[in-house]
Structure 1
Amino acid sequence: MSGVWALRRGSAAAPPQWPLWLSSVLLLGLVILAFMVGKFPISPGQLLDVLVARLKGAAAPSPVETVVFQIRGPRIAAAIVVGAALAAAGAAYQGMFRNPLVSPDILGVSSGAALGAALAIFFSLGAAAIQGFAFAGGLVAVAVVYAVGSAVRRHDPMLTLILAGVVIGTLLGALLALIKYLADPYNQLPAITHWLLGSLASITPSDLQLAAPLALAALLPLVLLRWRMNLLSLPDDEARALGVHTAALRLAVVCAATLMTAASVAVSGVIGWVGLLVPHAARLLVGPDFGRLLPLSMVFGACYLLAVDTLARTLAAIEIPPGVLTAVIGTPLFLWLLAAARRGW
């Protein structure tokens, strides 16, 4: 029962509050910066005037107001929602699988969403249908993976889920490659490639109305079960001895994390590294206690994706896909975290 005593000692320690406060201030600064920079620069005074006028209900139509509320506002909000959701899902999956290399797409949700979106593009459906197919594809993929893992009961359930996710993800990747091979190389194939690289450029308020409520609904179980999540880091027999139904808890975590990931991928495309890198950085500061790790991971994820998206639209004359920048920036950061992390993850 040494794991139990270690867990109790970690829970009794006073949690450091400065990382959460500092990251929240950083997020606020990044939001202001994201509103100001771009092809149409906005000064701090103009931004303040537009916000005050909107609060007073006296805002008159102007180019600045259009840029703030119709173009950059939805995009900034989407970066915050998607980044926070992917980071929360990554923290939940890493804690549940007791594996620091797990990311939100470990169970095939990204592969299923990519296949669903590619099918919608292949059949020349509209933007709403593409998002709906992507969302449904992610949920169906994880449902198949979990069904396979539940059917093979004689093996370790955690290992079985990971292996099933790898196998189903490979199959979905092969089907996606087939669709790309059959797609029109002048219209459909570029659209599929663009979606797979991820983008927040075409986000609209209606997209946020779809993704934000689903992400918040999926976040609620993780918040309510945050203390039980710590027990998943123990062996199953010790967790059951403490009164935790591990199978039901894993199912709840998988459903919540999958719903957050599918809602995010449906509106932004496949954006990697957020769910893998950000929980490591948060864990380095506050430790593995899920009650502290979850909020800090969400704020870190929002900061990271918002910074990447701001760079993506300002670094060059053409917009760089965020999926490319997350990998370019995430690789050296992850290597640095590996070198700086404690020996016992």
Structure 2
Amino acid sequence: MKPITRNNTFIVLLLGLLIVFSFASLFLGRYYVEPEHVLKLLWSGLLGSPLDSVDKTVVLDIRLPRLFIVILVGAGLSVSGAAFQGCFHNPLVSPDVLGVSAGAGFGAALGILWTNGVTGVTAAMAFAFGLLSVVVSLLLSRLKNESTILALVLSGIIVSAVFNALISLVKFVADTDSQLPAITFWLMGSFSNTTFEDLGKIIVPILVGIGVLIAVRWRINVLTLGDEEAKTLGINPGKTRMIIIAAATIITASSVVVGGIVGWVGLIIPNLCRMIVGSDHKYLMPASCLCGAVFLLTVDFIARVLTPSEIPIGILTAIIGAPFFALVYKKTEGC
């Protein structure tokens, strides 16, 4: 099969899997709903007159917003990871390489400490500190009057270390009966109790971020050739890199706002797709987008049905991601 045909087939297959898995997640679970009844509920919901019942509450009020949020987060983190790996010339970086997750985690922990729970203030502080962490990383990378990829990555490591220390400080002073469990559970990542209100907070920034990254995918191809080649071809590598960083940061911070810290998705999915469709971001970006959504949807389903008490999704993504990271590292030895 020709590479172009194979890549298009893979993308269509992922789209089909996403549709099938999405519908299955609405009727499968600890509370089973007949598939035919799910279709009736969805149709009545579209008409604006859903039947008031337990099934309606489970499908339309609990599972449906969670489904959309999981798809958005999985797609967004995966596309961000593919873009970062391309512009940093490194398959082992992820969307939180500049400290976004650590900064957002600190903001959320601080919000829980001040408001005694996960509230709108918590979400706002998570988003604000996520953006702040990247700004600080960018400023640190310019201390030596030079902007290099290595300087950016090292600055991100510094910022992440500081915010992780601050998270530990917040957990140390938090009330052990209520605040500390809430902070700990939130940091492990979970989509439980998500609502359409949460969906409204993230749908625009994540979709805009994904749209920007997919729109500049051909520029990312040029960046992988090196900055000198990019300048020769009329691309400003610094400006392009800032656009990619801004879009990926907005996506990652928005994801943390509703789901806590969900690691490894932006690292393992782009590498998995790269093994199948190659390094051309024309195919890698949409493949990563769809594959990330399917992957996180699958992991979220496992998290909510594997045990009577829902497993934080960050634990499962780490269990799957760590061995895969070792595999990718082995394949990149000597590079």
TM-score (norm 1): 0.91
**Corresponding residue number in structure 2 for 1:300:** 291
AA matched with 1:270: I
Within-5 A mapping of 1:76-225: 76-124=67-115, 127-154=119-146, 157-225=148-216
Which stretch of structure 1 is more off in the superposition, 122-131 or 53-62? 53-62
1:261 pairs with 2:252: yes
Matched residue of 1:106: which SS?
coil
Structure 2: give runs of 5+ residues left out of the alignment.
none
TM-superposed deviation, 1:209: 0.6
Q: Deviations over 1:208-235 (max 9, x none)?
A: 1111101112223212212111111012
* Residue identity opposite 2:120 in structure 1: A
Q: In structure 2, give the amino acid aligned to 1:137.
A: F
Residues 152 and 160 of structure 1 are in contact (CA less than 8 Å); yes or no, is this contact kept in structure 2? no
* Secondary structure, aligned partner of 1:14: helix
Q: Per the alignment, in what secondary structure is the counterpart of residue 263 of structure 2? A: coil
CA gap 1:344/1:209 in 2 versus in 1, 3 angstroms? farther
User: Given that residues 227 and 237 in structure 2 are in contact (C-alpha distance below 8 angstroms), is that contact kept between their aligned partners in structure 1?
Assistant: yes
Q: Using structure 2 for the length normalisation, give the TM-score.
A: 0.94
Q: Aligned residue for 1:53?
A: 44
Query: More deviation in 215-224 or 244-253?
Result: 215-224
Q: Which amino acid aligns with 2:77?
A: L
Which amino acid counterpart does residue 143 of structure 1 have in structure 2?
A: V
Change (3 A) 1:171 1:59: closer
Structure 1 position 201, deviation (Å): 0.3
Greater displacement, 291-300 / 44-53: 44-53
Q: Amino acid of the residue matched to residue 135 of structure 1?
A: F
Q: CA deviation at 1:202?
A: 1.5
Provide the aligned length of Structure 1 versus Structure 2: 332
| Residue number in structure 2 paired with 1:66 | 57
Alignment correspondent of 2:224: 233
Contact 2:137 2:155 in 1 (8 A): yes
> Do the aligned partners of residues 117 and 30 (structure 1) sit closer, same or farther apart at CA in structure 2, a change above 3 Å counting?
same
Q: How far apart are 1:43 and its partner, in Å? A: 1.5
- Describe the SS at the equivalent of 1:151: coil
